[in-house]
Amino acid sequence: MTMNIIETSGLGKRYGSTWALRECTLAIPAGHVAALVGPNGAGKTTLLNLAVGLAEPAAGTVTVLGGLPAGSPAALDGIAFVAQDTPVYKNLSAADMLHLTRNLNGRFDQRYAETRLAELGIPPNRKAGKLSGGQQAQLALTLALARRPRLLVLDEPVAMLDPIARHDFMALVMTAAADDGVSVVLSSHVLTELERVADYLVLLSRVRVQVAGGVEDLLASHRLLTGPAAEADRYTERPVVHAQRGQAQAHLLVRAAADDPIPPGFQAHPVGLEELAMAYLREPGAGALPGPARGQHTQPSEVTR
């Protein structure tokens, strides 16, 4: 049975009378690069903060790394977290950041960190505040990976980076996942970047998890049908996630397998990850897909801001 790196049951977080996360039941299996996608206010950062122990739930439970309580010493030892604002001390040099991180953690691979910074061309004596945005992000990521975590959590890690810096950052993430077996959960608005790296998707929108599952399986279970607009409303074979209608032609993104029959006059096309995510974001509640938990399927979650 596959271990779940993050598992929640009825998880909720409230600030005063406002729920930031509510009734979230979810399981993310180990061994994946899992993308957490959703609009602002969907609860992505709240979910990650609860998973890494930076916040206490108001309801429900969250465990990590196969059942460890979030925020427990054993869990913290196995998780590295890079927050959205690239957490480096601007007045410390890169070498000072390595020294500080090594002293604050029981496990730290100094040689790996030094080698990685040299490969990136980051001068060890230069203050972090004098580094470019991409270099600061790479420094923060290097510090996280040098702790040799089992789970790497990234909250909007490439939001402020240019395309080249985004590519270089994600290349290091993919190397860590492939070579070191690190499980990765990352939230991002850059869907094109996620399509290149993610093999598991969790999509939050408004009050529920709209999609949760392996990318390959999700794409295989959806099709884009194009055909006469006059016939679009007559299609009832499979759930329609999102429909676009012109005067002559309609485009229906539907949940359907490759061998499902195609309606007369329609053509079927494969769906990409960005196209799938945008369809569910445009149509919250179009029919949530559950993901695996404890080897079985769970019910959809509810996430609110």
Give tens-digit pLDDT for 5-54. Answer: 999 999 999 888 888 888 888 999 999 999 999 888 888 999 999 999 99
- Helix segments in the chain, DSSP class H: 44-51, 73-78, 94-104, 110-120, 133-146, 163-180, 191-197, 215-220, 273-282
Strands 200-205 and 208-214: antiparallel
Quick one: 4-216+289-297 is in which CATH superfamily? P-loop containing nucleotide triphosphate hydrolases (3.40.50.300)
> Would you place residue 295 in the very low, low, confident or very high pLDDT band (cuts 50, 70, 90)?
very low
Question: Closest by alpha carbon to 289, among 299, 281, 278?
Answer: 299
Distance (Å, whole) CA 39 – CA 296: 28
Half-sphere exposure in the Cβ direction for 260 (13 Å, CA): 23
Q: Provide the residue ranges of all domains of the chain, joining segments of one domain with +.
A: 4-216+289-297, 222-273
Give tens-digit pLDDT for 101-160. Answer: 999 998 999 999 999 999 999 999 999 999 998 899 999 999 999 999 999 999 988 777
- The residues, any chain, with a CB within 8 Å of residue 216's CB and separated by 6 or more, are 199
pLDDT exceeds cutoff 70 at 293: no
Distance (Å, whole) CA 302 – CA 305: 10
Where does 147-239 show beta strands of DSSP type E? 151-155, 183-187, 200-205, 208-214, 222-228
Structure confidence at residue 244 (pLDDT): 87
Rg of the Cα atoms in the chain: 21
Distance (Å, whole) CA 10 – CA 2: 21
* Segment 195-218 mean pLDDT: 84
* Segment 256-268 mean pLDDT: 85
